[in-house]
A and B are shown apart, each in its own frame.
Chain A
C-alpha cells in the first residue's frame, strides 16, 4: 500500500497536474507562454462598399444583362449545354473504355517484349534493384530529363508571377504578411524540433536508396521539401534564410540540372555512337551501384525539394 502524502506535496506532483489538465480545470500554457490573439482582419465599411460597387460596376460593364439579350440567352444556353456536353463526354469515354482490352489479362497487348525485357534483364543491364528506377533513369532517361526541366520551368513561371522585385511592393506585402503570421508557437516549434530531423533523414534515405527499393529523387525530394516547409512555419524566415535563400536555390538547381544534363549527355553520346561507357554498374544491391542512377536521383531530389520550398515561399511572401 502506498504512503498517503499531504495535500500540499500532492499538488506539486505530475499526476495532479495531469489530472487537472485532463479535467480541463487548468491550461498548462496559460500565463506560461506569451499568447497574443491574432489581430482580426477588419475592413472599413467604406472599403467594403467601394469593393462591392466596383464589382457591380464591372459586372454591369462586362455583361450588362438588362440590355444585352444575346448575353442573357447565351448564359442560359451555356449552363444547360455545358452539363449536357460533360454528360456526353463521360458517356463516350466510358463506352470507349468498355471496348478496351480487359484489365490484367495475360495476353493483353501491353504485356509484350518491352515490359518483358525490363523485368527479365533490367537488373543486369541497369544494375538497379528497383526496376522502375532503372526504367525512368536509365532506359528512358531522356523523358525524365525533360520531366525535371518541367519542374524547373514551372518554378521560373511562378517566380515571374509572384516574385516581388520592386522594393515598395516588397515592404507593403511583407508587413502585411507578418501581421497574420503565427509567432513563436510553442506547440508547433516543439513538434517541428522533434519531427524535422527524422523527416530530413528519411527524405535523404528515400533519395539515396532509390535504386535499391521503393523511392527515388521525386518522392524523396518531396519529403525533404515538406520538412523544410514545416521548419519554416515553425521558426519563421529569419532562421531559414540563414541557410536557404533565393541565391542558394538558384545555385543548387543550376548545379543539379547541369550535372544531370552533362551526365546524360555523356551516356546519350556514348550510347548512340556505340562507345563503351566507362561507368561501372557495381554489384546490384550495394549503395554505390547502378552507374549514374544514384547521382541522377540526387540531382532530381535537389530540384524537387527546391521547387516545393520555392513554391511555398512565393505564395507566402513573394521573395526570400
Chain B
C-alpha cells in the first residue's frame, strides 16, 4: 500500500494529539504547535489530493484490524481531500489574521486553552470530512459543538457568554435531532457504515417498505444539521456569536464550523440515503423554501444593522440560505453550485471578518458605522480587502461570489417549477447584498470631516500588523484565484461528487 494513503489517518491523529499536548504547554508554544499542526495537515492533505487525482478513484482506510462493517473506516476521495486542504488554508489564515486580537482580548493564562479548542476543532472537521461511518460522524460532531462553544466564550464579556448559551442550546437541539435520525436509520438498516446503509436503503426504497420512518429519519437529520449550520429560522444564536467573539473565532465559526456540518449533510445525501431518494422526497422542498426565505430575510436584517461585524454575521445567514436553496433544487447541478458556494463563502467571509477587524482597529475599536467613516484611508490594506470581499459577496465578476451565483442560476435554469422563484430570489438577494455591502464600502471611503470622527481614528500601516496583512493578502489572492479559475475547482467538485455516488 502506498504510504500516502496513511496521511488522512495521520492528520486526524496529529490534530487530535496536539490538543492534550497543548494543555501542558504555555501559550507561546501552544500557538507554535497549532501553526505547525495546521500547516502539516494542509501539506498532507495536498499530497493526498494529488494522489487521489492521480489514481482517479477513492480508497477506504481501515481504522484497526477489523474490516468495515465491524470496525471503523475512513474513506478518501477527491472532494474529501480537497475540503481538508481548503479547511486548513482558511483556518491558518484566520488564525494569522486574528493573532494580535487574541493577544489583547484573551486572558494570558487561558490562551493555551484557545489553541486546544482550535486543534480539536480541526481534528473534528477532518474526521467529519473523511469518515465513512455515521456514528463516528456523530462523535466528532460533539467535539465540534463543544469546542465551537469554547471559541465563542473565551473572550469573556456578557455578550459572548449569552451568545455561547444560545449557541449551545440550539446546537444541542440540532445534535439531538441528528442522533435521533441516526437511531431511526440504524433501526431500519442495521448498519452504521455509510456504504452499507445506502445498499439497504436502496432495497427498502425499491420495495416501498418502511417508507415513513425513512422519510422521518431523513427529515430529522436534515433539520438537525440545518439548525447547527444556522439556516434561517434557527439563526438567532449567530449574530452575537460572530459579532462579539474574538476575530479568529468569528472567522473560523462562520467559514469552517457551519461548513463542516453542511459537508456532512451532503455526505448523508449522497453516501447514506442516495441522492435519487432525497430528490424524490418532500424534505428538500422544505429546505428550499427556508433557504429562499433565509436569502431574503438575512439580507434585510443585515441592512437594519448598524454594527459592522453583526452586519457581516447576518450576511452569513443569507449565504447559508443560498446553500440550502441549492440543495433544495434536488439536482446534481444544484448541489454542485451549493458546494462551490460553500468554498467561495468560506474564503470570502473569513476575509471580511479579518478586514473588518483591521478597519475597527483604525477607528478606535468602535464597530459603529459612523465611526468607520474614512477607515479605508486609515488602513489601506484592510480597506482594499474589505472592498474585495464585498464585491465578491455581491457577485461581481472576477471574484468568487460571481461564479457561485452563476452556478446557482444555471442550476435553476430549466427546472420545472423552481426556476422562477430561484431566479427572482437570486436577483432580490443580490440587490439587497449590494445595498448593505456597498453602503459600507462607500462609508469607509468617505473622508472623515468632523473633528470628532478624526479624533477616534488613527492611521495603521502594514508594518504595524504584519501577520494580519499577510493573511489579508493571501485571502485576496485566494478570492481572485477562485473567481478567475473556477473551472478546475468546479471540475474537482464534480469529480468528487461522482466519487461519492
Point out the residues of chain B lying under 8 angstroms from A118, CB to CB: 70
**Once the chains bind, are B70 and A96 in contact (CB under 8 Å)?**
no
**Once the chains bind, are B143 and A149 in contact (CB under 8 Å)?**
yes
Measured between alpha carbons, how far is A261 from B14 in the docked complex, in Å?
9
Which residue of B66, B127, B189 has the most chain A CB atoms within 10 A of its CB atom? B66
* B400 interfacial contact with A, CB 8 Å: no
**Once the chains bind, are A142 and B64 in contact (CB under 8 Å)?**
yes
**Once the chains bind, are B20 and A269 in contact (CB under 8 Å)?**
no
**Once the chains bind, are B20 and A253 in contact (CB under 8 Å)?**
yes
**Once the chains bind, are B65 and A277 in contact (CB under 8 Å)?**
yes
Instruction: Mark contacts of A139-153 with chain B using CB atoms, 8 A cut-off: 1 yes-contact digit, 0 otherwise.
Output: 111110111011011
- B-binding segment of A30-38, A158-166, A176-184: A158-166
Report whether over half of chain B's contact residues are helix, strand or loop; otherwise say mixed: helix
Q: How far is the CB of A309 from chain B (nearest CB, A)?
A: 16
* B364 interfacial contact with A, CB 8 Å: no
Q: How far is the CB of B25 from chain A (nearest CB, A)?
A: 10
Quick one: given A114-B69, A139-B66, A160-B113, are A153 and B13 in contact (CB under 8 Å)? no
Q: How far is the CB of A133 from chain B (nearest CB, A)?
A: 15
Quick one: given A143-B136, A165-B110, are A271 and B63 in contact (CB under 8 Å)? yes
**Once the chains bind, are B72 and A141 in contact (CB under 8 Å)?**
yes
Give residues of chain B (1-57) contacting chain A, Cβ–Cβ below 8 Å.
1, 5-6, 9, 13, 16-17, 19-21, 23-24
**Once the chains bind, are B72 and A142 in contact (CB under 8 Å)?**
yes
* A48 interfacial contact with B, CB 8 Å: no
Point out the residues of chain A lying under 8 angstroms from B384, CB to CB: none
* B212 interfacial contact with A, CB 8 Å: yes
Give residues of chain B (178-208) contacting chain A, Cβ–Cβ below 8 Å.
180, 184, 186-191, 200
* A254 interfacial contact with B, CB 8 Å: yes
Measured between alpha carbons, how far is A253 from B24 in the docked complex, in Å?
10
**Once the chains bind, are A114 and B70 in contact (CB under 8 Å)?**
yes
Q: How far is the CB of A161 from chain B (nearest CB, A)?
A: 6
Quick one: given A114-B69, A267-B64, are A258 and B17 in contact (CB under 8 Å)? yes
**Once the chains bind, are B149 and A157 in contact (CB under 8 Å)?**
yes
Measured between alpha carbons, how far is A97 from B21 in the docked complex, in Å?
45
Measured between alpha carbons, how far is A268 from B200 in the docked complex, in Å?
28
Point out the residues of chain B lying under 8 angstroms from A2, CB to CB: none
- B-binding segment of A16-24, A104-112, A196-204: A104-112
* B142 interfacial contact with A, CB 8 Å: yes
* A245 interfacial contact with B, CB 8 Å: no
Picked from A154, A254, A258, the residue with its CB within 8 Å of the CB of B146 is A154
**Once the chains bind, are B140 and A146 in contact (CB under 8 Å)?**
yes
Point out the residues of chain A lying under 8 angstroms from B5, CB to CB: 272
Point out the residues of chain B lying under 8 angstroms from A160, CB to CB: 110, 113, 150, 153-154
Point out the residues of chain A lying under 8 angstroms from B6, CB to CB: 269, 272-273
**Once the chains bind, are B64 and A139 in contact (CB under 8 Å)?**
yes
Q: How far is the CB of A176 from chain B (nearest CB, A)?
A: 19
Q: How far is the CB of A257 from chain B (nearest CB, A)?
A: 4
**Once the chains bind, are A150 and B66 in contact (CB under 8 Å)?**
no
Interface residues on B, range: 35 or more
Q: How far is the CB of B8 from chain A (nearest CB, A)?
A: 10
Give residues of chain A (112-143) contacting chain B, Cβ–Cβ below 8 Å.
112-115, 117-118, 125, 138-143
**Once the chains bind, are B21 and A110 in contact (CB under 8 Å)?**
no
Quick one: given A92-B216, A142-B64, A273-B6, are A265 and B189 in contact (CB under 8 Å)? no
Give residues of chain B (112-162) contacting chain A, Cβ–Cβ below 8 Å.
113, 116-117, 120, 123-124, 127, 133, 135-136, 139-140, 142-143, 146-147, 149-150, 153-154, 161
Measured between alpha carbons, how far is A122 from B109 in the docked complex, in Å?
47
Give residues of chain B (368-422) contacting chain A, Cβ–Cβ below 8 Å.
none
* A71 interfacial contact with B, CB 8 Å: no
Measured between alpha carbons, how far is A250 from B189 in the docked complex, in Å?
42
**Once the chains bind, are B146 and A142 in contact (CB under 8 Å)?**
no
Quick one: given A146-B127, A150-B142, are A250 and B23 in contact (CB under 8 Å)? yes
Which residue of A125, A145, A149, A254 has the most chain B CB atoms within 10 A of its CB atom? A149
Q: How far is the CB of B370 from chain A (nearest CB, A)?
A: 22
* B498 interfacial contact with A, CB 8 Å: no
**Once the chains bind, are A265 and B13 in contact (CB under 8 Å)?**
yes
Picked from B108, B133, B146, B186, the residue with its CB within 8 Å of the CB of A157 is B146
Point out the residues of chain A lying under 8 angstroms from B501, CB to CB: none
**Once the chains bind, are B65 and A109 in contact (CB under 8 Å)?**
no
Picked from B109, B124, B180, the residue with its CB within 8 Å of the CB of A165 is B109
Measured between alpha carbons, how far is A254 from B24 in the docked complex, in Å?
7
A-B contacts, 29 of them at CB < 8 A, read A92-B216, A93-B180, A95-B212, A99-B213, A100-B187, A109-B187, A138-B64, A143-B139, A146-B16, A146-B127, A149-B16, A150-B146, A156-B116, A156-B117, A156-B150, A250-B23, A253-B20, A257-B17, A257-B19, A261-B13, A261-B16, A265-B13, A268-B13, A268-B62, A268-B64, A271-B65, A272-B1, A273-B6, A277-B65
- Give residues in A with beta carbon < 8 Å to B: 92-93, 95-97, 99-101, 108-115, 117-118, 125, 138-143, 145-147, 149-150, 152-154, 156-157, 159-161, 163, 165-166, 250-251, 253-254, 257-258, 261, 264-265, 267-274, 277
- Give residues in B with beta carbon < 8 Å to A: 1, 5-6, 9, 13, 16-17, 19-21, 23-24, 61-66, 69-72, 107-110, 113, 116-117, 120, 123-124, 127, 133, 135-136, 139-140, 142-143, 146-147, 149-150, 153-154, 161, 180, 184, 186-191, 200, 210, 212-213, 216
- Ranked nearest first, the 8 interchain pairs of A and B with the lowest CB-CB distance are A109-B190, A142-B72, A146-B139, A271-B65, A96-B216, A257-B20, A157-B150, A165-B109
Contacts beyond the supplied A108-B190, A153-B150, A254-B24: 15 A-B pairs with Cβ under 8 Å: A96-B213, A99-B213, A109-B200, A111-B190, A118-B70, A125-B66, A140-B135, A142-B63, A146-B16, A153-B147, A253-B20, A267-B65, A268-B13, A268-B62, A272-B62
